[in-house]
Structures are given as C-alpha cells and as structure tokens.
Structure 1
C-alpha cells in the first residue's frame, strides 16, 4: 500500500494545535498510552505535572477535538491545584469590626466591598438582639446624626446660594434689557437729530439761492 499517494495524505490541522505536543511518561512506542499519561506545565510554578495535579476544569483547557481527533493545545494556560487560590473561609465585618465565618454572611453580602454579617444587618433593621441595641451602631460609610445634620446644612446652604445666583442672574437680565432699550432710544434720538440737521441745511441753501437771485 502506497501511503505517499494523495489518497492517504492526512489533512493539515489548525495552526493553534499540534498533533504531537503531548509528552508521555513512556516512550512514543509504548502500549496503552492515553491522555491521562500526558504531562502539562503549570503556568505559575512552571513545573510539568500529570492529570492528578489539575482539576477537571483546568484539564479541559489543554485539549480540543478537530475532525474527530483529540488534539492538544500548543500552549495551554492552566494552573495546578497547588497554585490555585484557596477559597476564603472568613470575612471581615465592617459593622462590628470582627472577623467571622463565611456562613454568618448572606450570599449577597459576600460579594460587596463593605460586607456585614447577618446579626449586624438585622440590628440595623431593628430586628436583632437586644444586646446590640444598647450600643449605638454607626455605619462607617453613612455616619451618625451629626454627619446627617452637616449634610442638611450643606444642602440648605447650596440651595440658598443657588437661589441667590438665580436672583442675580434675573437682575442682570433686567439690567441688560434696560440698557438695550436705552441704547435703542439713544439711536432714535440721534437719527432725529440727523434729520433736523438736514432740514436746517436745506433752509440755509434755499435762503442762499434767494439772496443770489436778488443780487
């Protein structure tokens, strides 16, 4: 059988995949080799490790299927179990300033920048323990009543300033209207003065003509 003929030529695979990029523990001619014997390098510790050192999610990133064949990715970006970040089992509560277990926080509070435990959340809603009601709770992001008074004072001051600015703008508009009307009246008076000057010149010219005829 002529394997060099065009009939038996293997089609080219995509450029981002390599058919022989796998590194097996045994030789290439060893029997029973499969994908589980493949070694992959971790992108963080830069160590070549087997399938036992990777999770299923990370291991699925190393291979793909092309025309029914399992093909390894040329440069897979995978992280071994040792280098993967661990899940936090405790969270710092910003309300009571204590480190508590993750089970004491609701799922919504676990993903915010200022997490609060369930006890502190209930205490703010006036549904918590009586011991917590004895100590006045101050939200570090909102402040106490004095901060609220300051905010009200600042808001009132800004309102007064805005009203004063509106009054000043109204006065300036009236002044502009008056000045514009005065300019128009002045221009009309100047136009009347020009007409009177022309009439006077006409009278002088007519008088000059009469005197010349008499002579």
Structure 2
C-alpha cells in the first residue's frame, strides 16, 4: 500500500523563525508534511536563512509600498497559491490578515500565539501576563479567523510564572512549549484528524473540541501506550 503524500505547507514569517525551525526539525523526524516554501514580508527575517539552510524555497513579499492591506493580501494569496498548499501556517507573521484572505484558506490556516487564549490577545503577552499577576502563562495554537487571535483554539501548553520572572525569561520557557504544540497541531491537520466544521467548531477525530487539548495531557502516559 502506497503511503499518502505529505501535506504541502507554506509557512509565513516576519522574524527569527524559531517555530519555523521546530517545524523543519519535526518534518525531518517524520511529521507528515512537506514545507514547500517560506514567505516573509521582511527581507531581513532570519527565518529565511533557516529555510534556505534546509533547502526550502523562500520568497519575500514586502508590505511596504502596497496601497492597502487588501492589495497586499491579494498579492500574497497569489504567491502562496503558486505552491498549491494544503496547509498554511503563520509562524510569527506580523500582519493582520483581511477577512477575504482568511476565508480563502479557511480550515487550513493555523497560527501560534504566546498566551493562553482567549486571554492576552495581541502583542507583548509576556509583559502583560506579569503585570496582571498571572500565576500561569502559556501558548495556544488556533485556527485563524477574521477575529484577531480569536479563532477556535486547538491545543495549549501551560507554564508556571516563577518568582523573579522577567518578560524575557518567561518568554523563553513559553517558546520551548510552542515548539512542541505547533508540530502536534500540524500533524493532526495533516493527517486529516483535525477539521474546522461549517458551524465554526474545531473537531479532532470527529469529536467537537469544546475546550482546547493540553500538551500536558498529550504527554501523559496512558495504559497500553
């Protein structure tokens, strides 16, 4: 029996690309995807260097000079679709996407966000977590919708906020967990186990996710495993 073709992925980045690197490493370790291209709106993004080192095609499409977000997103969608992706992944892509763009990739567009959504949407999440006195922080993978950081959450990882934490130390611990949950969610999507229903609800193995899965539970040993 012939093995199924791996899902074709496009990854969008704006910066260093550590989550991109986690995906590249996971692909090498058997994640059933093929990263067909990495696209950045920033020509100096270090994630492009990571992609080239892995032999992945790269493209740069700067948002500077575009008359509007709609114009940029139309050009971006044309570029993405040249690679015929089945999955589109945001990995530190610092652009707010238009509703038309999001609708075009509905159900196959994921993002990773450094907070336990729906808490702390937007930027500077680690500083805001500390300022709020939170005792637990973390990261979330979610389907992208036209509500900023508001799409259905699939899986989360939690980390404790420690005495003396600064935004940088907290961010570093959260990032370690991001590198685990993003490949996990991508695997589920690539294998067809994860879907987004017409009702807007995410399903894993056909069951509605009425709450996000937790990495801690996924890592816990179960009888017979």
TM-score (norm 2): 0.18
Larger radius of gyration: 1
Question: Comparing both structures, which one devotes a greater share of its residues to strand?
Answer: 2
Question: Comparing both structures, which one devotes a greater share of its residues to helix?
Answer: 1
Higher relative contact order (CA 8 A, sep 6+): 2
TM-score (norm 1): 0.18
